[in-house]
Structure 1
Amino acid sequence: MAFIDCHFFSESLGISTSMYVILPQPTTRQIGMETRAVKEKHPTLYLLHGLSDDHTIWMRRTSIERYAAEYGIAVVMPTVNRSFYTDMEQGYAYWTFISEELPAVAGSFFPLSGEREDTFAAGLSMGGYGALKLALSCPERFAAGASLSGATDIVNLVQEWQTAEFQHIFGDLTKIRGSRNDLFHLAEEMARSDGTKPRLYQCCGTEDFLYQDNVRFREHCRSLKVELTYEEEPGSHEWGYWDRKIQAVLQWLPIR
């Protein structure tokens, strides 16, 4: 695998920003590493970080490079700060960045497939929210979305935390329910749609503080008859759990 620390200017943010990218590289002499790779453009996973982290965290806390090598998939890891993958009320347009600009920019820099069937999103905690938001909002461009210990019930989360930071991100907090930032609402829209639907994956540890939020989202999807792969097991909000589950996500992805 090739590893790129990429710094570039974002038009939608109006600032320079960063992403880590790992790309499949066919090798025959690299000890301890066998990489599946195609000569054409690579299937791509946009792998999103949580609230307190940045684009470096998946490489620092897991063996994502080694895991991805087995599947011949490129992994793009952007930074979005504490934005909840949202066009912030007082701040930057991170939803526009992550949903529109980043795939275009990354695809212009690297040999990434632009086909829907080759494009996936996954993330942990805040990033799990972002990954499901991408899959549910952009089903014509993302074939699958996976949430690991995700902040799936943003309405409940902002009510519990009651922080000024959420007002800077979302604006009027009473208007989140039923908006484009509400995963429950997006799932309802997708259920009513006759269009192409992405595959969805959700997991959460039973000791995680977000466990009940995840259960509510699971039950909501089941009530809508939205197809969802759900897994739970003992575990809390920590990297040992996410290191295990990202391997399950890669195995679950419909990589061609």
Structure 2
Amino acid sequence: MAFLQVNVYSNVLQMEVAMNVILPQTTHKKIGTETVGITDDIPVLYLLHGMGGNHSVWERRTSIERYVAEYQMAVVMPSTDLAFYTDTTYDMNYWTFVAEELPELVHELFPQITQKREKTFAAGLSMGGYGALKLGLAKSENFAAVASLSGAVVLADIKSLLLVRNEAYWQGIFGPLDQLQGSENDPLYLLEELVKSGKETPRFFLACGTEDDLYPASQYMAHKLEQNKLDVTFEEGPGKHDWIFWDAWIQRVLEWLNEKHS
């Protein structure tokens, strides 16, 4: 596998942004595993970081490059700062960047990566789990499957949000907090809109550690997806909100993504 560190200009954000990209590569090694890399129509996983992370954190905290080699899949890991995958009230449109501009940039720079929905996936942890779920709900036409690990996928509990950051931060992201529920940034609202639209829906995977404070949120969102007759897998296991859990479970995500893809 090839690992690329990319700096590119975003017209949406009007700034330079960073992303790391893993690409399949044919290798002949005396020590290690030889691989035959595919070079056309490569499946792609958009892998999103959580609060406090950036484009480098998945590579630094897990063995994602080694894990994905088995599946010959490209992985795109963008940096999105602390913007919660949202078009913020302070005029930084990170949602538009991730949902619309980023795939265009990827296809421009890496034409060997697929543009087919059935080979395009998203996943993330915590804040990134919210982002991946949001992509699956609001951009269902672009993603065959999405996965949320320990995702902040239910935002109705304002008190819980304020335990993480102060009100000024959240208002900068979402606007008035009393208007968050039922807005385009509310996953439950996006779920309702997707079901009403009649659009094709992706497969959903949610997992969370049973000792994680966000466990009830993942459990509840999985229930709502199932209640609306969407294809959802919910799994749990011992674990907290940490990289021990995410390093183990990203391997399960890759396995799950390829159960039907292959």
TM-score range, shorter chain: over 0.9
TM normalised by structure 1 equals 0.95
CA deviations on 1:52-107 (whole Å, 9 max, x unpaired) are 11000000000000011100000000000010000001141000000000000011
Q: Between 14-23 and 161-170, report the one with greater CA deviation.
A: 161-170
Partner of 2:127: 126
Question: How far apart in 1 are the matches of 2:193 and 2:85?
Answer: 19
Letter in 1 for 2:261: I
Partner of 2:46: 46
- Cα deviation for residue 200 of structure 1 reads 0.4
Classify 1:34/1:228 alpha carbon distance in 2 versus 1 (closer, same or farther; 3 Å). farther
Partner of 2:4: 4
Report whether the alignment pairs 1:100 with 2:100. Answer: yes
* SS class of match (1:154): coil
**Unmatched segments (≥5 aa) in structure 2:** none
1:181 is aligned, of 180, 185, 210, to 185
Letter in 1 for 2:66: R
Q: Between 48-57 and 182-191, report the one with greater CA deviation.
A: 182-191
Runs in 1 of length 4+ with deviation above 3 angstroms? none
Letter in 1 for 2:243: W
Partner of 1:255: 261
- Cα deviation for residue 234 of structure 1 reads 1.1
Q: How many residues are aligned here?
A: 255
Question: How far apart in 2 are the matches of 1:39 and 1:235?
Answer: 37
CA RMSD of aligned residues (A): 1.3
- Cα deviation for residue 31 of structure 1 reads 2.8
Alignment of 1:93-242 (within 5 A): 93-110=93-110, 111-156=112-157, 158-162=158-162, 163=166, 164-242=168-246
Letter in 2 for 1:90: Y
Question: How far apart in 2 are the matches of 1:192 and 1:31?
Answer: 54
* SS class of match (1:3): strand
CA deviations on 1:187-215 (whole Å, 9 max, x unpaired) are 22223332211010000001001111112
* SS class of match (2:253): helix
Question: How far apart in 1 are the matches of 2:37 and 2:149?
Answer: 26
Question: How far apart in 2 are the matches of 1:69 and 1:60?
Answer: 16
Question: How far apart in 1 are the matches of 2:2 and 2:100?
Answer: 25
CA deviations on 1:222-251 (whole Å, 9 max, x unpaired) are 222222100011110010110111000111
Letter in 2 for 1:207: E
Classify 1:36/1:173 alpha carbon distance in 2 versus 1 (closer, same or farther; 3 Å). farther
Question: How far apart in 2 are the matches of 1:43 and 1:30?
Answer: 28
Question: How far apart in 1 are the matches of 2:193 and 2:212?
Answer: 28
Classify 1:67/1:35 alpha carbon distance in 2 versus 1 (closer, same or farther; 3 Å). farther
Question: How far apart in 2 are the matches of 1:22 and 1:33?
Answer: 16
Question: How far apart in 1 are the matches of 2:184 and 2:32?
Answer: 45
Partner of 1:13: 13
Question: How far apart in 2 are the matches of 1:30 and 1:197?
Answer: 44
Classify 1:103/1:30 alpha carbon distance in 2 versus 1 (closer, same or farther; 3 Å). farther
- Cα deviation for residue 36 of structure 1 reads 5.2
TM normalised by structure 2 equals 0.93
Q: Between 102-111 and 185-194, report the one with greater CA deviation.
A: 185-194
